[in-house]
Amino acid sequence: MSKKTLSQVLLIASAVVMAAGCATTKRAVTNIAWMDSDKDNHNRLYLSYWEGSCKAFMGCSQGEAHVKLCSRQTDNGMKCEEQKEVDELLSK
């Protein structure tokens, strides 16, 4: 194989790899809503977000919507639980 042919093959292979790229997982917060309840003094919130796979030059997949219910702890940390039933409804 000549050097010219080898260079062309490497150039084409590089272009294919760059076009396909590696997929990375992306997340984007779509909404945050505090619960309005006097008894818990706004200690809970719903967090919704989108999660999908993105490739360079190809854009992102349709992805999936997720919802978590988070509770504020006494140390001001957050404890979040996935809402599987809501996720399933959003996926339909």
* Residue-level pLDDT at 68: 93
Confirm whether 1 is domain-assigned.
no
- Could you tell me the pTM of the whole model? 0.62
61 assigned to some structural domain: yes
Are the C-beta atoms of residues 32 and 47 closer than 8 Å to each other? Answer: yes
Q: Report the distance separating Cα 35 and Cα 42, nearest Å.
A: 6
pLDDT of 14 > 80? The answer is no
**Within a domain: residue 10?**
no
pLDDT per residue over 59-83, tens digit each?
788 888 899 999 888 888 889 999 9
Task: Say if 8 falls within a structural domain.
Answer: no
Domain membership of residue 65 as a residue range: 23-91
Q: Is residue 5 situated within a structural domain?
A: no
Q: Flag whether 75 is in a domain.
A: yes
Counting other chains too, the contacts that 65-69 makes at CB distance below 8 Å and 24 or more residues apart are 65/30, 65/90, 65/91, 66/90, 69/44, 69/45
Q: Which two tokens stand for residue 40?
A: 């818990």
